[in-house]
Structure 1
Amino acid sequence: MSRSDDKSARSHVGRTYSLCIYPRLSAVISTCCSVLASKEDTSADVIKKVVALLGLDSSKNYVLAEVKESGGEEWVLEGNDSPVQRVLLWPRRAHEDHPQNEGYHFLLQERNTDGSIRYVHLQSVSKEKEDRRLVERGFLPRQQEDYDDLCNLPKLTENTILENLKTRFLKHKIYTYAGSILIAINPFKFLPIYNPKYVKMYDNHTLGKLEPHIFAIADVAYHTMLRNHVNQCIVISGESGSGKTQSTNFLIHCLTALSQKGYASGVERTILGAGPVLEVSVQ
Structure 2
Amino acid sequence: MSLMDGNGAARQDGRSYILQVYPRLANASDACCNVKVTKDATAATVIQDVAASLGLDTSKSYVLAEVKECGGEEWVLEATDLPVHRVLLWPRKAQDQHLQSEGFYFLLQERNRDGTVRYVHLPALSKEREAQRLVARGFLPPPHKDFDDLCNLPVLNEDTILENLRNRFRKKKIYTYAGSILIAINPFKFLPIYNPKYVKMYENHQLGKLEPHIFAIADVTYYAMLRKRINQCIVISGESGSGKTQSTNFLIHCLTALSQKGYASGVERTILGAGPVLEVRHECLTLL
Give the number of the structure whose alpha-carbon radius of gyration is greater. 1
- Under a length normalisation based on structure 1, what TM-score does the superposition of the two structures give? 0.50
